[in-house]
Amino acid sequence: MPLDITLFGIQMPTLLPIFTASAVLQILFDRVMSDTGFYNHVWHPGLFRTAVFICIFTIPSLFIYH
């Protein structure tokens, strides 16, 4: 996979669309977890949300640079 993407003549790093997709996926995941009451059983919800986002962002990012 190329490390740069050209979109409408603008060159951007490949991690930017992955970051955007990860943010959207995290918002959806966060909504499901809050609706089911999962965060009532988590010690620190903000830390858990951050850790889940890092996992969601890191997995596709490793496929690019591997």
Confidence of residue 65 (pLDDT cuts 50, 70, 90): confident
Question: What is the extent of the structural domain holding 32?
Answer: 4-65
For residue 46, the model assigns a pLDDT of 94
For residue 1, the model assigns a pLDDT of 55
Q: Which letter does DSSP use for residue 21 in this model?
A: H
For residue 2, the model assigns a pLDDT of 64
CA separation for the pair 42, 38 (Å, rounded): 7
Structure tokens at 45: 């919800």
Span 14-63, pLDDT tens digits: 889 899 999 999 999 999 999 999 999 999 999 999 999 999 999 999 98
**Nearby residues of 9 by Cβ (< 8 Å), 6 or more positions away:** none
Nearest Cα to Cα of residue 25 among 62, 54, 44, 53? 53
Q: Output 54 or 66, whichever has higher pLDDT.
A: 54
Q: How many domains does the chain have?
A: 1
